[in-house]
Chain A
Amino acid sequence: MSPAAASPEVKGNLKPRPPPSQSPATSSSSSKRSSEMGATKARQSAGFVTRIKDFLFINLVPLGTSPAQIPSNLFQLVVFHIYHTALIFLHIILSFYYLFARQYHRAKNNFLAFLYHHHRTPQLIAQDIKGLAKTPQHVGIILNYKENEEGGGIEGLMEQVADVVSWSIGACVKTLTVYERTGKLNKLHEATYKVINRTLKSYYGETIPVVKLSTPHDKTVYPEEMATDPDINIAFISQQDGREFLVELTREFAYKAAKGEFEPSKLTVDNVDRLANQLVITEPELIVLFGPKLDLDGFPPWQIRLSEIYYAPYNNSVTYNVMLRGIRRYSKCKINVGR
């Protein structure tokens, strides 16, 4: 308000101004050329030193090192690199271990595939699961879409689903949830249905089990009208049924609450659970991963509370023996909520 209060502001504004207004004048004058040459030399040598410093302390420090660990002086730098070399050495040893472990697990998978094969006969599958203490009613599987590979693409995904459906019916599974992160199969019910029925024919002959496909997110069902109850329900879900579903649910209730139509205290675990079961899927008892490592890949978080998670290390294909081993693991597990 008063000039005294305004003056520091003006000063602050003025201070940085002079250098740019002066610099063009000095650089344009030819009289200072010789001194300029010296300055550039100095600048170059300084650049050389800083470049070496940058190289030593920035470029040589690997990406992903936490900021607190980046060395600040030469001694620390030497120690850092001695330790880091040791770390790289350990990583290499681990890589060799992985190499052997992969061979071992591949051999094991092949042997088990030879030992347990469905031979496209449901009786054999029934025999494999006979005598298990319990079998899952609801199984979730996580599939990975592979683009440029043999057995990949959309057709490959459909074939995989059809195979798993055939095995699941043999293992008395009532509900199968197929998770594929990007939701490639969500809108392809008709084509998938055809592939499933073709595969089922090769297992069951002429009278094939009845299947029903659904995509909870789009609220679509195929076939829309059925004469009998289906032998198996197949739900296709993707990443948008996970966190996004919970976010949308919150948003919906927030709109209602803003209008005064909803009491926030009604938003309990039980109520959210009921909605998640109705609008997406119920909780699978077993989730089988067909990937090489344990990666849930964004499977709906709400529904994996007590699900037994099974994966075969280093396996990279959708095979019967992985599914069977998953079901066997499930039959042995003991779930006691809280106890």
Chain B
Amino acid sequence: MAITSWIRTFPLVQYFIAWTQEIFMSVLKTGPVPQHVAFVMDGNRRFARRRKLEVREGHSAGFESLAHILEMCYQVGIKVVTVYAFSIENFKRPTVEVDALMEIARTKLLQIIHHGDLADRFGISIRVLGQRSMIPPDVLAAIDKSTEMTKRNTTAILNICFPYTSRDDIATSMREIVTKSEKHELEPETIDERLLEQHMFTKDCPPLDILVRTSGVERLSDFMLWQSHQNCTVEFVNCLWPEFEPWRFGSILLKWSRSKAVEFRKMEMERDQKQL
């Protein structure tokens, strides 16, 4: 760790790293590319504890990490990135920390949309998924402002799940459909998986391709249960979120790209055999 950070102080090394990353992403781009990637950004607090920092600084380091990942997603052409920022269960944490998290959310949201920063640079439109009714008014104002200001960006979408749980997502979707049925707006026979999906928070997004959870915890913790339990690559990574470095994400993308390419090659071979 110490050696790598020492090497990084050399001139041009940073430049070289950025250049390598860009080339690698252009290479990846020529193969299959995932459309929708989700992250559970786990381990900010543990990171802070290990380095004897304040919890707040841990969360800030996590935000830096997210900025890096968003840059990579932009380079490789991923359409939607969904991150788990705050669970409904997180309201159980000490009030001081909940308040601190809300404050971070507010300032970071405003920072993302700040002119020339993240959102503008990568053409990201921001959406906040979750139970709006549980958000304090000042944070809600920041959310509305950021969604309003970035809604014209079309390159990519950043979904911030805040406060979100997947069970709540599913139950809300079911409730909306039943309410529509009560008002006789739809026929109960037409209810199917697609209809449920169309009432979920992720309704406008392509299907989830990769779900990454950091900090070595091998559980989904109520995140994207419906979206990830089939036809989705789930990756549990054994490092804390602020330490989730570009090469780790790069290797995940390469693995996915290979498995998809193999799949496509099989499809091609089957098609050729049929033609023969």
Contacts and interface: CB of A to CB of B under 8 A. Distances in A.
Interface of A: 62-66, 68-69, 80, 83-84, 86-87, 90-91, 94-95, 242-244, 246-247, 249-251, 253-255, 257-258, 260, 262, 264-265, 267-269, 272-273, 294, 296-302, 304-310, 329, 333, 335, 337-339
A179 B84 CA distance: 28
Contacts of B192: 247
B178 A305 contact: no
**How large, as a class, is the contact surface on chain B?**
35 or more
A309 B225 contact: no
A63 B267 CA distance: 9
A294 B236 contact: yes
Contacts of B166: 301, 305
B88 to A, nearest CB: 8
Contact of B27 (A90, A269, A299): A90
Contacts of B177: 250, 254
A278 B124 CA distance: 43
Contacts of A253: 174, 178, 181
Given A258-B184, A260-B182, A307-B219, A301 B30 contact: no
Contacts of A305: 166-167, 220-222, 225
Contact of B188 (A63, A91, A255): A255
A306 B213 CA distance: 13
Give 9 closest A-B pairs by Cβ, nearest first. Answer: A338-B89, A254-B181, A254-B188, A257-B182, A84-B30, A301-B225, A64-B32, A64-B264, A298-B230
Contacts of B77: 66, 68-69
Most chain A beta-carbon neighbours within 10 Å: one of B31, B89, B226, B234: B31
A57 to B, nearest CB: 14
B258 interface: yes
Contacts of A87: 27-28, 30-31, 257
Contact of B218 (A66, A264, A268, A310): A310
B129 to A, nearest CB: 16
B31 A264 contact: no
A272 B92 contact: no
Contact of A258 (B181, B233, B254): B181
B138 to A, nearest CB: 22
A247 B182 contact: no
B171 interface: yes
B263 to A, nearest CB: 8
B179 interface: yes
17 contacts: A63-B264, A64-B31, A65-B30, A66-B29, A66-B77, A87-B28, A91-B254, A94-B255, A250-B191, A251-B189, A258-B182, A262-B178, A267-B171, A297-B230, A309-B219, A310-B218, A337-B89
Nearest to B86: A338
Given A66-B29, A246-B196, A302-B167, 7 more contacts: A64-B32, A84-B31, A250-B177, A262-B182, A298-B230, A301-B228, A337-B92
A262 B89 CA distance: 28
B217 interface: yes
A260 B184 CA distance: 10
B260 interface: yes
A312 to B, nearest CB: 12
A296 B30 contact: no
Contact of B230 (A258, A267, A296, A338): A296
A91 B30 contact: no
A247 B170 contact: no
B204 interface: no
A91 B188 CA distance: 48
A63 B31 CA distance: 9
Contacts of A64: 31-32, 260-261, 263-264
A243 B225 CA distance: 11
Contact of A269 (B92, B171, B189, B228): B171
B52 interface: no
B268 interface: yes
Interface string B215-249: 00111111001101110011110000000000000
B191 A339 contact: no
A329 B264 CA distance: 35
A62 B31 contact: yes
Contacts of B219: 306-309, 333, 335
A136 B30 CA distance: 45
Contacts of A307: 219-220
A276 to B, nearest CB: 10
Nearest to B179: A264
Interface in B1-51: 26-33
A278 to B, nearest CB: 16
Nearest to A94: B258
A309 B218 contact: yes
A153 B87 CA distance: 43
